[in-house]
A and B are shown apart, each in its own frame.
Chain A
Amino acid sequence: MKETPMNVKFFRKAGLFASTSSLALVVACGGGGGSVNPSQAVTETLNAALAAIAVSPANYTSFINFLDANYKQDGLTSADLSAMLAADAAALPSEASFPSVSYSDAIISGCNSSSVCDLTVTITNNDADTVSTSVTLKVKDSVTGYKLIGDGSSS
């Protein structure tokens, strides 16, 4: 897929829906020109959702709302992930039950005609010894902003 720079549409859409939904992307403003960086907005939204889970596993709604309705990866759908997180919250409400991560250095690129793009991002765990790795996720640009759509894989 050919890499394409972010277009104005992305910036506008990200800004538009940030004010209408708590689940929509938070827009970050660049210095000087006042431009909006949707990549940064995506990571901030994701990080906020993950941070909520880290505080309490029961706070997973924000994350689930960041998934596209057709999300599927590793054979897991949005409903599956919701059920898993709910089960974790019920079983181990006060545990750091799985490793947490934060996202940074996001780049959205390679959008196709269905508005499905690649989100290349650095994932970091810094519980004690910082470790990072780069990963590319699929996101879909929709009327409610970017959402994770998964790669469609079955397992």
Chain B
Amino acid sequence: MIHSFSLRSTTKAVLVLISATALVHTVSTQAADKAKNKKAGTYVTGDFHNHSTCSDGSLSLQKLVEKSTDSKNGRYNLDWYIQTDHGGSGTRNCTIIEDPFEPNTPALNLTTVTNLSSISASGVVSGAFTGQAPSTSVNPYPSAGQPATGNKGPNQTWTALSVTPKGTGQSAGVMWRWQNIKEYQYKTLETESRNRKKPIWVGNEINPAGHEHVQVTVLDGQATWPSMATNGNADLLAQHEYCFDRNDRDPSRGAENNWDCSVTGSANNSLIDATAKKITGGNSASTPNLGHIKSAEGVKWLKEKALNTSFYIPAHIERAGKYMIENNSGGTDIEHFREYNNIAPTIAFGFESMPGHQASDQRGEYSVQRNNGTGNIGSAAGGRTYGGTGGYAAIVGGVWDALLGEGRNWWFFASSDWHNRGIFGPEQLESTLDFYPGEYTNMSVMSRKGSDNLTAQTVLDGLRSGNVWVANGGLIDRMSFVVCRYNPTMPRAAFQALIEKASLNAAQSGKEVRIDGCATMGEKLKARAGTDLLVTVVVRNPKANYSPYSFPNPSLAQINITQALNKPVLDHVDVIWGQVTQAPLATQAVTSPCVKSTYFSCGDLTSAAAKNTTTIMAKRFNSANWKDSGSNYITMSYKVSAGSKSQYFRLRGTNLPVSTPNETDADGNPLTDDTSVAYKIPCRDAACPPHLNNTAGVKYSSYDVAGWADLWFYSNPVFVEIQSDLKLALIK
């Protein structure tokens, strides 16, 4: 059921929204906690964005959880895991696990199969694939989502298993996601969590009206391990999906649930359809911006229902390009991040600017002139990824720095966005699309759990704190990053030695520095103008990763460096510095150089509203000025004057030297990843795999090889608030 709106009514709604959100939600300024009040924490690795056969992934819930969190060989042993499938609807029963794959030992160069139906009846492929035309793929073996014995595998439909989907407005046999989450996904994941003794829970990749995708978690009700409560549920998450996913067109109010999607006191409740009890429209020519209004209502709803137990993190934020006010195919501009953060800073506190699909020929699935599936063709913001990270965060002084330049708690996140391995099967080590969660992209989150078991709430709290860093391809696996005020009563060298030792201790134990007068990622150090600061970083470069390739890195081979892909060496670390130039902006129309329309329209990548021109690469560490602390640990620190302005420091690092052709520029910035359209970096080693792009008999670095060759890590920022300058409204 579609509720129609006149332009006039939508405009009124816009004005209501502007006036409502112009009152920025200010939060009292918090410095870094006193060290003695900080509960001991540990960095824990996990992933919040991956797909199973509940939507368009290739593996069942159980198989994907096993691959991500199990510790045996060929699994990736993540500490925590959130299963998110697309909102909307689906036909497959994803709760039934596959038969074991044969062979089940991950390997390279498994037998090539060109005709799926010819695979023997050993249980690998049958049922749904029988009669399928011969495949032209290289190695579809074994097939993902294979039916299990008795044809009850995850590719089986709900209908085949006599499950009757609820709700209305959908074809027979199609289950709305809300029902899947509420009645199937939750229980399966609760069981997995308890069996594996890890926080594993259900989230949702919502299709927000007006934008592309957002990762949503609502912990309320979920009795994830270590809870053993018997009444666990994901009802609130399911309701959010019903209410705010643009592809959930069910008008039934969730059948017997009788859901109502209104937000207490919201003027936009007037837009709610009387039958469905939700806003049913989206961005269109007749209802411009209605979709975004609906999405903002979704954030308000979370604030009302789950203030400290939910998050709303826009995903692969550059991929869909600019925001489009008259359709739902566009992306998310900076003003939307500001607006979400203003509405609910404990819920909307960051974005996924390092996307998944890192083995794709169009890395991250970012491209120019991308058809996003709705017939609207637009380019990713920034065109493509830059060393695997989107332009919003990868471009120094860009969107992320603009947000940090307002002193916002707006953090950098990453995911694997697992769907499948492209032309390869799930136990094959090659990939032309995705890496498994934990295989390539690792996000480390500070969990202040003390000596207690890790919980979903402490993971969520850690994400919200910004004490998070991300590394691809095992470039680093430990980090300590602090900014400290010099102690005037101590000789500088002695002070530096003490902080460096504390940092090394922290990195070695997977923890953080807890010293008064120091602040780490997501925290704020208070200082007077002109004082001296010590920036200290310790990382471990394990020189080993999960890459199946031991041949030399083709990117480095261009500059005569021989370095195995599975033994990456950190080349340098950059300290990026920016000034906090203004308090958090209210959500209000920006007028110059506005070119798109009458609404918030100046926030895309190229606009002045999306830049922080103070941002610089302030310091570079490499083997010439860092210290080898043994056992692959590296220590680096430097003194800098705090100056007179509030500011922030953040880090990035890579295995690629400055001016590596086709990879980094003369300043060390990552260049665009465009292996699909420009064969630039030859892969000449005899072991370069056959699936790489090739022309005239020459293979070129592409797909997973290009991903393993071009590695980066990013930290979140440490803020420094100058006592006489702008106050930073950080939250804990």
> Which residues of chain A have a CB within 8 Å of any CB of chain B?
49-50, 53, 63, 73-74, 76, 81, 84-85, 87-88, 90-92, 95-101, 123, 125, 127-129, 131-133, 135, 137, 150-151
Contacts and interface: CB of A to CB of B under 8 A. Distances in A.
Between A53, A95, A125, A133, the greatest number of chain B beta carbons within 10 A of the residue's beta carbon is seen for A125
A91 B723 contact: yes
Between A131, A137, A151, the greatest number of chain B beta carbons within 10 A of the residue's beta carbon is seen for A131
B515 interface: yes
B531 A129 contact: no
A128 B35 contact: yes
A123 B723 contact: no
Between A74, A91, A95, A98, the greatest number of chain B beta carbons within 10 A of the residue's beta carbon is seen for A98
Contact of B484 (A53, A98, A135, A137): A98
B13 to A, nearest CB: 45
Contacts of A88: 488, 528, 531
Given A99-B518, A133-B497, A74 B491 contact: yes
A100 B497 contact: no
Nearest to A124: B498
Given A88-B531, A91-B528, A128-B35, A97 B517 contact: yes
B491 A99 contact: no
Given A88-B528, A96-B517, A128 B38 contact: yes
Contacts of A100: 487, 516-517
B485 A99 contact: yes
Between A76, A99, A131, A151, the greatest number of chain B beta carbons within 10 A of the residue's beta carbon is seen for A99
A128 B511 CA distance: 12
Interface in B1-46: 31, 34-36, 38, 40
B336 to A, nearest CB: 36
Interface residues of B, number: 40
Contacts of A131: 498, 501-502, 505, 515
B492 A74 contact: yes
A84 B488 contact: yes
Contact of A137 (B491, B515, B724): B491
Given A101-B498, A129-B505, A133-B501, A150 B487 contact: no
A49 B488 CA distance: 13
B488 A128 contact: no
A35 to B, nearest CB: 29
A129 B511 contact: yes
B526 A99 contact: no
A86 to B, nearest CB: 10
Given A73-B491, A74-B491, A127-B514, 8 more contacts: A81-B488, A84-B488, A87-B528, A97-B526, A98-B487, A98-B488, A99-B515, A101-B487
B494 interface: yes
A38 to B, nearest CB: 20
Contacts of A137: 491, 494
Nearest to B32: A96
B515 A133 contact: no
Contacts of B494: 123, 133, 135, 137
| SS of A interface (majority) | mixed
A19 to B, nearest CB: 25
B490 interface: yes
Nearest to B37: A128
7 contacts: A81-B488, A96-B34, A99-B484, A101-B489, A125-B502, A128-B36, A131-B505
A53 B516 CA distance: 14
Contacts of B31: 95
Given A91-B724, A92-B528, A131-B498, A98 B491 contact: no
A36 to B, nearest CB: 25
A133 B495 CA distance: 9
| SS of B interface (majority) | loop
Given A98-B485, A123-B490, A135 B515 contact: no
Q: Which 6 interchain pairs have the tightest Cβ spacing?
A: A91-B528, A127-B35, A128-B514, A96-B516, A135-B494, A98-B485
Contact of B498 (A81, A90, A133): A133
A95 B486 CA distance: 14
Interface string B514-558: 111110000000111111000000000000000000000000000
A116 to B, nearest CB: 15
A42 to B, nearest CB: 14
A123 B514 contact: no
A101 B501 contact: no
Contacts of B492: 73-74
A5 B674 CA distance: 70
B621 to A, nearest CB: 20
B491 to A, nearest CB: 5
B638 to A, nearest CB: 13
A101 B487 CA distance: 9
Nearest to A74: B492
Nearest to A75: B492
Contact of A125 (B515, B528, B531, B724): B515
Contact of A127 (B505, B516, B529, B724): B516
A150 B517 contact: no
Contact of A99 (B34, B36, B487, B497): B487
B511 A98 contact: no
Interface string B463-495: 000000000000000000000111111111111
B404 interface: no
A129 B35 CA distance: 9
Nearest to B509: A129
B498 A125 contact: yes
A129 B724 contact: no
Contacts of A129: 40, 502, 505-506, 511, 513-514
A90 B490 CA distance: 20
A96 B723 CA distance: 13
A117 B326 CA distance: 78
B499 interface: yes
B42 to A, nearest CB: 12
Contacts of A133: 494, 497-498, 501
Contacts of A74: 491-493
A95 B514 contact: no
Nearest to A53: B489
A36 B431 CA distance: 73
Contacts of B487: 98-101
Nearest to B525: A97
Between B40, B488, B723, the greatest number of chain A beta carbons within 10 A of the residue's beta carbon is seen for B488
Contacts of B498: 99, 101, 123, 125, 131-133
A128 B515 contact: yes
Interface string B432-463: 00000000000000000000000000000000
Nearest to B484: A99
Contacts of B528: 87-88, 90-92, 97
Contacts of B513: 129
A137 B494 CA distance: 9
Given A125-B502, A129-B505, A133-B494, A50 B489 contact: yes
B149 to A, nearest CB: 53
Contact of A92 (B501, B511, B530, B723): B723
A96 B34 CA distance: 8
A135 B491 CA distance: 9
Given A129-B505, A131-B505, A133-B498, A85 B526 contact: no
Nearest to A49: B489
A150 B492 CA distance: 11
B395 to A, nearest CB: 35
A99 B516 contact: yes
Nearest to B533: A98
B38 A151 contact: no
